[in-house]
Each structure stands twice: as structure tokens, then as C-alpha cells.
Amino acid sequence: MRRIEKTLLKGFDPPRANEDVTGIVARLARHARVSSSRALHKYLFGYVTNELAGRYPGGLQVLHRRFPAFWENPQEIAERHTIFPLFRFFEASVDHAQKIESRLVHARQNPGQHLRHRFELEKGDVWEKRSPMRYCVPCMIEDQQAGRMPTWYRQHQIPGVDWCVRHQSLLFDYCIECGQQLFKHSYVVPAFHCGCQRDIPALRTPEDAAKIKVSSTIAGPRNEDDRRDVRYCTFVVGLLEKNLQPLGDQGWLTVFRIGVKRKGLRVALKALGKVVPTHMAKMSLLLDTERYILRASSTGGLSVSDVAELSPKTKICLISALFDSVEEFVSALRSMRKVGYVHGGEC
């Protein structure tokens, strides 16, 4: 690893806003021309793993020690360059969230096996064991045109988020030229995950890049279902970037009631009927009859235990129907006059 130590920081661009840890290391590997990704991982994180392109790397304390100038502490890496802040918001308490963060920081092996069941949006819908990274073509081209090496962004790696909300473009986990699936176990940047993509015209001339950018957004939202998906993804990414502390079931119940009061119950019911998955037994019970909702909202019949049974995905669907934006939702959290719900604002 002497070559890495000599060339690691010389000419290396610092981490970018919302760049995933995998993206940072992928650029580093290419910058230092490292041939062994396993050796690089050992050097940066303190352990070797076959899941190199993981969404939840451990050993962030070691990574911080290698790059003390980039971050004040290893917790800052988890806050800015992983999707941990999104899932922290749905934890039962701050203590639970801190235990998970401690695994990310101090783990001496890949913590994915332990965290995979926690980092899910739908209860029981566990992530694929080794799911590949995803990228947005317009984001990749923008990086290239700005003279930056393309990278992986954390908002593209959230399970269930299939759109880049900034470009309203579908995300890809395969080569847009040949359809080859991304290689799952190497640190590579999006533009170079297979041989043929080195010849993408976008990487040669700005004119051709503009054409590809237009063609890549044709697969954007084309109907009402797509637009609802984009709205949902916008809320998910917004929650990630707001860096919120755990809300707790009582907090969720309170904010739901604030949303119904602001939106108007009948309007909220119509919106909820469109966004809440119909196969969810508990929500079907709540949404089947308007009379039940009216009674539950007016008499407090919707309880904390009801809310506790809702998956994170359902909660996101609910708040996206009850609030017009993430900013409006965060404003409602602040109005609850409880300390600790909003922490540090945006990353």
C-alpha cells in the first residue's frame, strides 16, 4: 500500500456534497490507480469484505483517521455520505439510532448483515444481499462536463427510490450502452463500470453529451403513477437531506393529526387513497370507510399502537399526502415544540 500512501491525497478532489462513501473510494481507487480493491478496503476501513460496494460500510473511524482533513469526526461521514440519516429518523429512539451509528463507526467487519433488516422501507422487504449501485445518467454527464470524475451519490442508493429527483430521470444499475449489470464487488465510477461505456459519446464531446442527456430523460415521468413515484422519491430524499433525529411513534401520531388539520380531512382522504399501498392490511382498515377516519381523527381513535404498525414507506406516503413539501413537514415538526426532532438542519 505504499503507492496508495504516496498518491492518496495528491491531486485528489475532496468529497462532494451527498457523495456516497463508495463514490469517494471509487474515485480514490481510480485516482491512485489501485489494482486491488480488497487491499484498498483493508487500508481505508480496517477489514476486508466481498461486499465492497455496500450501502452501509463499517470502519468509518478508520476512514476518518486516513483523511483527518476532510471531516471533523467519523460521525460526520455517516451524516453526509451514507443513507443512515434517513433510517435514523424512523428509529424508536435516539438511543437506538446511536447504537446503529456506533456500528457504522466502530465495526471491524462489514455491518451489513446486522443492519440490512433495519435499513428497509417496507416491513419484511429485506434488501437483496448484494444489490448493485445505481446512477443517474444526467448526473454522470454533468460531472464529466464539469471536469469531474463521475461518482456515486447517496440519494441514488436508497431502496425504493428509482428516480433522480433533481433531473426526474430514472436510475440505472446497468450499462446504458450494452445492458450489462454493474459489477457488484469492485470500486468503479459510473462511467467506467464496463469496457464499452468508455466509448460513450458523452465522454468525448459536449454536443453528443447534450443529446444523450435529452434521450436519457425521455424515460422520465410519463403518467400519473410516475409522477406519484417522483413525489414519493422527492420526500424520501428530502428527509435524508434534512438530517432529522428519531421522531418516535407518538411524534408520528401528532404530526399526522397536524397534517389532517392543515390539509382538511376530506382532501387528505382523497390523497391518501392514491398513495398508500392498498395491500397493507392496517391501512386498508383505516382507509376503507371515510366514517371510520372521521371518528378516529375526531375522537383520537387512531392510536400510537396503530402508528407503530406502519412501515417507514407508509409513513412517507402519508406525510407526502398530508404536506405539500418536506419543508412544510419539517415546519410541522418544529411546531410540536419538542426538542430533538430536527437536528442540524440540512446536511
The residue assigned the cell 456534497 is 17
How far is it, in rounded angstroms, from Cα 53 to Cα 26? 9
pLDDT tens per residue across span 80-116: 999 999 989 998 889 989 988 998 898 887 776 667 6
pLDDT at 200 over 80: no
How far is it, in rounded angstroms, from Cα 299 to Cα 218? 48
Residues in the chain: 347
> Are the C-beta atoms of 243 and 347 separated by less than 8 Å?
yes
pLDDT tens per residue across span 56-78: 778 999 999 988 889 999 999 99
pLDDT tens per residue across span 277-301: 444 444 444 444 444 444 555 555 5
Domain ranges of the chain: 2-115, 137-216, 247-335
Reading the block at residue 118, the C-alpha cell is: 433495519
Q: Where are the alpha helices (DSSP H) in the chain?
A: 2-7, 21-32, 37-45, 60-66, 74-81, 84-88, 94-106, 112-115, 137-145, 206-216, 224-242, 249-263, 265-275, 281-287, 290-299, 304-308, 312-322, 326-335
